[in-house]
Amino acid sequence: MEINRLIEGTLALSREIFGSDFIPLHRPVFEGNERQYLINCIDSNFVSSVGVKVTEFEEKVAKFTGAKYAVATVNGTAALHVAIELAGVKPGDEIISQAVTFIATCNAISYAGAEPLFVDVDVDTMGLSPVALKRFLEENAEKRTSGTFNKTSGKKISACIPMHTFGFPCRIAEIAEICADWDIALIEDAAESLGSYVGSCHTGTFASMATLSFNGNKVITTGGGGMIITNDSELAKRAKYITTTAKVPHPYEFVHDQIGYNYRMPNLNAALGCAQMERLEEFLTIKTQLADQWDAFFSKRGADFVKAIEGNKANHWLNTIILDSREDRDKFLKITNDNDIMTRPIWTLMSKLPMFKDCQTDGLENSIWLEDRVVNIPSSIPDGALKKLSN
């Protein structure tokens, strides 16, 4: 792969697809009923967490993902925080996750008073590796009557949180089997994978709970927002209760019987989400077409364009390439951004951040390799693409 020619071609194709102005990594698209639904909310006076659009949005997401229940929150981090609490994690416990993730995953773990353990990812999915997970547990953990414990720290390993990185499904079915064998609660961080599938099953439906994000740069957005999805009616009931300050139902008295959180999604945000869900299938179709265009370009030039592994389907939230070296990565990032085309590296590994640098890891060989080489490229829905599709 000749990096200079690859960069020149990327610049040219980006301009051809997205135009000559500044090209963001991923922008929101509001070409449906968003404005009208917001006006309806304002006219109704129900703009906060009480309103019909919140329930409607939850029902739409549950139906789309195949989950029985959905509980809307103010953001994906809040959703993950509550899911961790509902999973029975206690302060001082440990949670297995991946160092290749956005900071929100580890922030939520920290909010619960727990500590992350970092296990390596698979190169082809960039998500938690079931092989590495099984090896880590066999070498470092022991099962007791009260759960699984870390032989080094003596602490209980209460949960495992894999993430479907950039919308590419990880090997979640295998991970679920391992967690069940070791009596470890599984929570899917599906923040980036709305519209991604493992076989015929939507991501987020392999665990007792999963979380989604609707931040401004996601496939659909509510401005800020998140969701807990589950098939467990009791977990759903408790999630809704905790996220609405744990207020005991009463016509006028204010009684709260446990620590709760003001995490419920406002009606205004949910109105955006309802309109966005109406266009989700169209968004996904166009994003697949864009990914195919990028794939054809990079395959002719010897660059590794990341695709879902066989049997899985990605939502193509962020199109991703893997370059030959850190030097190539840095050159690609600098020249594209200098030319007003936003590209981004993968996140700094969580294990390198000052808050988590002392957390136990398994060496993270693949994670380090990916950090040196991964680049996200423009992934927005191009202007006019929705109208063209509808015609």
The tens digit of pLDDT for each residue in 71-92 reads 999 999 999 999 999 999 999 9
169 φ, ψ to 5°?
-60, 135
pLDDT in tens, 287-333: 999 999 999 999 998 889 999 999 999 999 999 999 999 999 999 99
pLDDT at 390 over 90: no
Which pLDDT value is given to residue 388?
85
Give the pLDDT of residue 48.
Answer: 86
Percent of the chain at pLDDT > 70 equals: 99
42-51, 85-94, 123-132, 133-142 — which is least confidently predicted?
42-51
What mean pLDDT do residues 348-357 have?
Answer: 98
Contact 280, 291 (CB under 8 A): no
Which sequence spans correspond to the domains of the chain? 3-27+279-390, 34-276
Q: What is the pLDDT of residues 362-382, one digit of tens each?
A: 999 999 999 999 999 999 999
pLDDT at position 218 is 97
**Torsion angle (degrees, nearest 10) of CA 322, 326, 330, 331:** -80
Find out whether 361 and 42 touch, Cβ atoms under 8 Å: no
Residue 20 has pLDDT above 90, yes or no: no
**Which two structure tokens, joined as six digits, stand for 307?**
């695709």
Fold of 3-27+279-390: Aspartate Aminotransferase, domain 1 (3.90.1150)
- Does the domain spanning 34-276 belong to CATH 3.40.640.10? yes
User: Is the four-CA dihedral 251, 256, 260, 262 of positive or negative sign?
Assistant: positive
Query: Average per-residue pLDDT in the chain?
Result: 96
